[in-house]
């Protein structure tokens, strides 16, 4: 099969490509391509085509179309995980729910086939595909016919596009298995993926996530993702992968096959007992299209007496994309902001005020959200506070609290302690940033009672050899700064110093720790800012 490339006239969402390209299924497997999870390399000419087609799905569709939908993948589990024996007769059954909007045919089918190939028959009750009102023609009759041939797979069509929450709820209502297992439509599961999920989900108080590995958006190579990760979120409520707390890491290395807790789930891949899913209120149906439902569900689970966990014994690959390929009715920010506003309003208590205060554009739509039924749900389920969540589930968090100082630490010479937006935060040398007096978060820091200077994204100011650095917050004593009057001292008694260049007013100048002197460059002003 030949790929017909439309003429390139610029634009997004495939709008620049010919109808034929957009609506046709160009799946044409090349024997051996991508087998064993190996990368597929393209010729120079194909690379040009692939680039032109990229906007259709935000991954390399040319590569995907060359790889068999039945491709083999290696067993990605650790030896300790492979040793675990499951009693299949006593595990609950699964309904796998995969929702999609304008997904590529080959990617979608490979997701389905990987589940069929690698799930024990007696455990897989059914696969429910939910088409969230796609308009690509290859997903119409051609998909119906392909699905009809498959055992235990059914396809539901959402009459109107609701977004992933509405589509998942549609699937969940039709599920006959004991456990709901959600997957994105561009995943591939590996051997042994289902058993650990069902084993844990059987307990009825947990949302259990697989370890999400990486399917390269360019080559579709399957690669392992960082071993010790958990999910959390930034001050702007963007989902983030972070290093788990020390006690979790310790337990994880003692017992690598045991599921470990996570403050938040990424959202796309998890299993939950059907009864628990509905008892805790399913999803917030007011959330449209994409975004924030993962945080809402995570907070709800933890605050309302359940847990969110990851098991590294279940390995599933997912194509992480840099851009969203589909249309957001009303615009991506409008959709995402509305969803975030709902989640924050219902679950975050005083931290909702923090979020809205420093995200004024989200605040403008705060009052437009009708969340009375979700607030009622929280009351009926007798859920705990967000303060409880932060201190018990995510004690390593970097949000302000009543016990933590919050504000701007300004040098006598000008400039504030902070991380410049758009620069590499992690690992980068610290320089003074502009003291933004409005709601900008860049020059705001949390100063904890134990002496950590934290910023958004979990970065802490750390004493280096010479220059101070922004590093992931940890238990390191190099991250402790003791306030002595207007000075900030390291544990060795050195003073935080701004190395001022002439005429710079401090901004952009490096921070370092030096012998304490009577020196303006070591004088800091602590301007407290109310955080709610």
Binding site for ligand UD2 (CB under 6 A): 99-101, 103, 132, 161, 163-164, 167, 184-185, 212, 266-269, 289-291, 293-294, 318, 321, 324, 326
Residues in the chain: 532
Task: Specify the DSSP element, H or E, that contains 207.
Answer: strand 206-215
* Residue 391 Cβ vs ligand UD2, minimum distance, rounded to whole Å: 26
C-beta closer to ligand UD2: residue 200 or 489: 200
Strand ranges of the sheet holding 511-514, from the earlier edge strand across to the other edge: 482-484, 487-489, 495-498, 511-514
Q: Is 456 in the site for Mn ion (CB under 5 A)?
A: no
Q: Which does 266 bind (CB under 5 to 8 A by kind): Mn ion, ligand UD2, none?
A: ligand UD2
* Residue 293 binds Mn ion, judged by CB under 5 A: no
User: Which of the choices Mn ion, ligand UD2, none does residue 163 contact, using the CB cut-off of 5 to 8 A by kind?
Assistant: ligand UD2
If DSSP codes are grouped into helix, strand and coil, which group holds residue 145?
A: helix
460 in Cβ contact with 474 (< 8 Å) = yes
Count of Cβ atoms closer than 10 Å to residue 31 Cβ = 7
CA distances from 216 to 59, 111, 185, 318, 495 (A): 8, 15, 15, 8, 45
CB 488, min distance to ligand UD2, A: 38
Q: Which is nearer to Mn ion, 181 or 480 (CB)?
A: 181
Q: Could you give the CA distance from residue 381 to residue 360 in angstroms, rounded to a whole number?
A: 31
Which of ligand UD2, Mn ion, none interacts with 405 (beta carbon under 5 to 8 A by kind)?
none
User: What residue 447 binds from Mn ion, ligand UD2, none (CB within 5 to 8 A, per partner kind)?
Assistant: none
Distance of CA 385 to the CA centre of its chain: 23
Among ligand UD2, Mn ion, none, the one that 409 touches (CB under a kind-dependent 5 to 8 A) is none
Asked if residue 188 binds Mn ion (CB under 5 A), the reply is no
Q: With respect to ligand UD2, which residue has the nearer C-beta, 185 or 194?
A: 185
To ligand UD2, the closest distance from the beta carbon of 469 in angstroms equals: 30
CB of 337 to ligand UD2, least distance (A): 13
| CB-nearer residue toward ligand UD2: 86 or 241 | 241
Which of 225, 195, 234, 203 has its CA nearest to residue 319? 225
Q: How far is the CB of 267 from Mn ion (least distance, A)?
A: 9
Distance CA 143, CA 109 (A): 9
How far is Cα 470 from Cα 464, in angstroms, rounded to an integer?
9
**How remote is the C-alpha of 282 from its chain's centroid?**
20
Q: CB-wise, 38 or 101, nearer to Mn ion?
A: 101
Partner whose footprint covers residue 178, from Mn ion, ligand UD2, none (CB < 5 to 8 Å by kind): none
3 state DSSP class of 485: coil
Q: Which is nearer to ligand UD2, 37 or 267 (CB)?
A: 267
Cβ contacts of residue 440 below 8 Å, gap of 6+? none
User: If we measure between CA atoms, which residue out of 403, 439, 405 comes closest to residue 525?
Assistant: 405
Binding mask 133-172 for Mn ion (x = CB under 5 A): ----------------------------------------
Nearest distance in Å: CB 185, Mn ion: 7
How many C-beta atoms surround the C-beta of residue 119 within 10 A? Answer: 22
| 184 near Mn ion, judged by CB under 5 A | yes
Minimal distance in Å, beta carbon 453 to ligand UD2? 31
Please choose which of ligand UD2, Mn ion, none residue 317 contacts, taking the beta carbon within 5 to 8 angstroms, the exact cut-off set by kind. Answer: none
Inter-residue contact 302 to 391 (CB < 8 Å): no
Nearest residue to Mn ion on Cβ basis: 184
Place of tokens 């509305």: 338
124: helix, strand or coil: strand
Nearer to ligand UD2, 103 or 509 (CB): 103
Contact footprint for Mn ion (CB under 5 A):
184
């Amino acid at each position: 099969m030949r790929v017909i490339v439309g003429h390139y006239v610029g634009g997004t969402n495939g709008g620049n490509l010919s109808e034929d390209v957009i609506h046709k299924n160009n799946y044409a497997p090349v024997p051996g391509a991508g087998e064993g999870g190996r990368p597929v390399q393209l010729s120079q000419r194909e690379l040009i085509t692939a680039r032109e087609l990229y906007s259709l799905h935000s991954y390399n569709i040319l590569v995907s179309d060359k790889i068999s939908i039945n491709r083999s993948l290696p067993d990605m589990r650790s030896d300790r995980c492979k040793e675990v024996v499951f009693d299949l007769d006593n595990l609950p059954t699964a309904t796998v729910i995969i929702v999609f909007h304008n997904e590529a045919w080959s990617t979608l089918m490979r997701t389905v086939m990987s589940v069929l190939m690698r799930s024990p028959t007696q455990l897989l009750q059914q696969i429910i595909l939910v088409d969230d009102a796609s308009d690509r023609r290859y997903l119409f009759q051609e998909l119906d016919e392909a699905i009809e041939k498959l055992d235990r797979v059914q396809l539901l069509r959402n009459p109107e596009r609701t977004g992933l929450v509405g589509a998942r709820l549609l699937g969940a209502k039709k599920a006959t298995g004991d456990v709901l297992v959600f997957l994105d439509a561009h995943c591939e599961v590996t051997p042994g993926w289902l058993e650990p999920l069902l084993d844990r989900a059987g307990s009825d108080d947990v949302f259990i996530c697989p370890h999400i590995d990486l399917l390269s958006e360019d080559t579709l190579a399957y690669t392992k993702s960082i071993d010790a990760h958990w999910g959390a979120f930034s001050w702007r409520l963007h989902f983030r992968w972070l290093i788990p707390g020390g006690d979790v890491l310790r337990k994880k290395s003692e017992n690598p096959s045991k599921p470990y807790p996570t403050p938040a789930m990424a959202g796309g891949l998890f299993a939950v007992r059907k009864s628990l899913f509905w008892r805790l209120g399913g999803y917030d149906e007011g959330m449209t299209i994409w975004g924030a439902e993962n945080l809402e569900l995570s907070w709800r689970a933890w605050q309302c007496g359940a847990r969110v966990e990851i098991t590294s014994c279940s390995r599933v690959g997912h194509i992480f994309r840099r851009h969203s390929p589909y249309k957001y009715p009303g615009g991506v920010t409008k959709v995402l902001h509305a969803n975030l506003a709902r989640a924050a309003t219902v679950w975050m208590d005083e931290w909702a005020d923090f979020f809205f205060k420093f995200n004024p554009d989200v605040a403008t739509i705060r009052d437009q959200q009708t969340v009375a039924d979700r607030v009622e749900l929280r009351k009926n389920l007798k859920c705990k506070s967000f303060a409880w969540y932060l201190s018990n589930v995510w004690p390593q968090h970097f949000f302000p609290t009543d016990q933590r100082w919050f504000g701007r630490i300004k040098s006598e010479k000008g400039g504030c302690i902070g991380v410049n937006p758009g620069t590499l935060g992690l690992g980068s040398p610290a320089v003074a940033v502009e003291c933004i007096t409005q709601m900008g978060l860049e020059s705001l820091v949390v100063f904890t009672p134990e002496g950590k200077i934290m910023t958004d994204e979990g970065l802490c100011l750390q004493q280096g050899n010479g220059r101070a650095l922004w590093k992931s917050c940890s238990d390191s004593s190099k991250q402790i700064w003791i306030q002595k009057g207007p000075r900030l001292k390291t544990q060795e008694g050195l003073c935080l110093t701004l190395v001022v260049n002439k005429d710079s007013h401090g901004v952009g100048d490096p921070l370092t720790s030096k012998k304490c002197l009577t020196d303006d460059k070591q004088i800091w002003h602590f301007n407290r800012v109310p955080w709610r």
